Amino acid sequence: MLYRETGDFKSSYAADQQTFPIRSERYLFWGAMVIAFLVVPFFINDYWEKSVLVPLLVWSMAALGLNILTGYCGQVSLGTGGFMAVGAYACYKLMTAFPDLNIFIVVILSGGVTAFVGMLFGLPSLRIKGFYLAVATLAAQFFLVWLFNKVPWFYNYSASGQITAPERTIFGIAVTGASAPPWATYLFCLTLVFLFAWIARNLTRGTLGRSWMAIRDMDIAAEIIGVQPLKAKISAFAVSSFYIGVAGALYFSVWLGAVEPTEAFGINVSFLVLFMVIIGGLGSILGSFLGAAFLTLMPVLLKNVMVGGLGWPTDLAAHFEIMLVGGLIVFFLIVEPHGLAQLWRLAKEKLRLWPFPY
């Protein structure tokens, strides 16, 4: 039968605690992974890569990062754009300073650099809470973007102030630069996202994740039962910034190829990722993916319908899109404030009792 615990016996603690406790859920997950890893690369073309799949993966990564901070640890941050910029510029500096370094290591290292910067800007969170903290993280946003605009060392003194990703390879296949084949960039991003989503899932249900959630639910109570706020908050900022930094590195090197800080890492990026997390569901790994998918795919769909289907001018379609995104956000918050992940949870509950709900 579809989606039942019946007949799914567990004989060990490990089996009891696995992420997907029900067999059909496991089949669904691994089936989706097989399609993503083994089928999609054969059919992917330039359009799908640049405007759907790679953006989806990059935003999922960023949303995962912000969800760790905001959803699991309860610290609202509006500095995502700035931290993505740190990841992108760290990636650029490492790529140009060490041309022989493997791009995989470069991306991980730029995540590490961002984690360090994130820890610095996370320090005020020990004293400032709630909206005050959200506004304080705006300092990171504006300061970092300003820094990358003003200090020529960061963009290697190039005349345009832009940074451009040189070509780098893995196993002899280009994954960055203009000549990288779509399937290679896609697989590169997918591997990283898969790996880090797996790590995030296991981090959040371990000791560290539990201390984050304790801080989120009530920080004073958590402190009294022995959770160290310093350790929990700073580690949440570090891990979250690491993910956002990796997302920023991919955003710059794999997806866009060339960026200019004010355009690519502005305050709008921070809001976009926050929307993804909220619409997807705070405190849910699946939610990060659902939110990212929703906000990446909807504009593409809308654009195709309005410009391609109805033949409207593009500026009109753009205004309509902003309006619709805003309207949908409000609509979703009213219908399900806990996000798409909650809808999925409810659907599963219903499915378990189907066809005899009692």
Q: Which is nearer to another protein, 142 or 183 (CB)?
A: 142
Site string for another protein, 239-278 (x = CB under 8 A): ----------------------------x---x--xx--x
CB of 76 to another protein, least distance (A): 6
Interface with another protein: number of residues (CB under 8 A): 48
CA count, 13 A, side-chain hemisphere, 287: 28
User: Is the four-CA dihedral 261, 264, 270, 271 of positive or negative sign?
Assistant: positive
Nearer to another protein, 73 or 278 (CB): 278
146 in contact with another protein (CB under 8 A): yes
Binder of another protein out of 73, 103, 136, 285 (CB under 8 A): 136
Paired with 169 in beta bridges are 174
Stretch near another protein under the rule CB under 8 A, chosen from 108-116, 214-222, 284-292, 293-301: 214-222
Which amino acid, residue 3?
Y
Assess 149 for contact with another protein (CB under 8 A).
yes
Minimum distance of another protein from residue 228's CB (angstroms): 17
Helix (H, G, I), strand (E, B) or coil at 193: helix
Q: Does residue 174 interact with another protein by CB under 8 A?
A: no
Q: Which of residues 54-113 bind another protein (CB under 8 A)?
A: 76
Helix axes 267-280, 54-66, angle to 10 degrees: 80
If one asks whether residue 128 binds another protein (CB under 8 A), the answer comes out as yes
294 counts as binding another protein under rule CB under 8 A: no
Residues 311-350 as x/- pattern, contact with another protein by CB under 8 A: -xx-xx--xxxxxxxxxxxx--xx--x-------------
Interface with another protein, residue 28, by CB under 8 A = no
Contact 273, 141 (CB under 8 A): no
Which of residues 13, 127, 157, 172 is near another protein by CB under 8 A?
Answer: 127
| CA separation for the pair 242, 114 (Å, rounded) | 6
Picking from 167, 143, 141, 155, the residue whose alpha carbon sits closest to that of residue 260 is 155
Query: Which is nearest to 63 in space by CA: 249, 324, 240, 210?
Result: 240
When asked if residue 307 is in the footprint of another protein (CB under 8 A), the reply is: no
CA 295-167-39 angle, to 5 degrees, is: 50
Single residue of 138, 170, 174, 302 touching another protein by CB under 8 A:
138
Angle between helices 314-335 and 267-280 (to 10 degrees): 40
CA distance 146 to 57: 27
Q: Across 240-348, where does the E strand assignment appear?
A: 258-259
Backbone φ and ψ for 352, nearest 5 degrees, come out as -65, -35
Which lies closer to another protein via its Cβ, residue 322 or residue 347? 322
Between 172 and 311, name the residue whose CB sits nearer to another protein. Answer: 311
Residue 173's φ and ψ, nearest 5 degrees, are: -110, 130
Between 209 and 281, CB nearer to another protein? 281
Give the footprint of another protein on this chain (CB under 8 A). 76, 124, 127-132, 135-136, 138-139, 142-143, 145-146, 149-151, 218, 220-221, 224, 267, 271, 274-275, 278, 282, 312-313, 315-316, 319-330, 333-334, 337
